[in-house]
Amino acid sequence: MFKLFKKEKSQNVYSPMNGKYVALENVKDEVFASKMMGDGFAIEPDELKIFAPLNGKVSMVAKTKHAIGITTNDGIELLIHFGLDTVALNGEGMNVLVNEGDEVVRGMQLMEGDANFLKQKQIDVTTMVILMSESKISKRLETDKNVSIDDVIMVCDKK
């Protein structure tokens, strides 16, 4: 009855990198392309610096430095997965600048990659942002556009 007055919590999710925004379905990894891990988007980066796409707390940093989780105060959870097959590098070529439990603000640098090392290893540095929580994506930017860290890519609503 009072659902009319219930306020949905919307959260803008910005690009974590400067580069080309591509649909998750076009990522060259079946796990991400089929959305087995969840829905989201990918960036083919111009440079290998990753920034916080929203405000929140670092909920996870992979031991292999290839992925960072962020959770907002509203419970929206994102996973930022740097590159394809980067888990096999065991952290080589990646420098994480935050720790689990750190508070982050949108635009704060989270990590960076060593472009020369990753190129030598022939690593695809396409970076995925996956919505992990019980939330829904209510809006998305049109894909195949060049974006910066100041561009909103999607809007998530907490269920």
Residue 151 predicted with pLDDT over 90: yes
In a domain, 26, yes or no: yes
Report how many domains make up the chain: 1
Tens digits of residue pLDDT in 71-94: 999 889 999 999 999 999 999 999
In a domain, 42, yes or no: yes
Is this structure's pTM higher than 0.85?
yes
In a domain, 1, yes or no: no
Higher pLDDT pick, 135 / 118: 118
Active site residue 66: no
Q: Residue 63, class by beta-carbon neighbours within 10 Å (0-12 exposed, 13-18 middle, 19+ buried)?
A: exposed
Q: Which of 51, 81, 86, 132 is catalytic?
A: 81
CA neighbor of 127 nearest in space, from 21, 36, 12, 34: 21
pLDDT at 8: 56
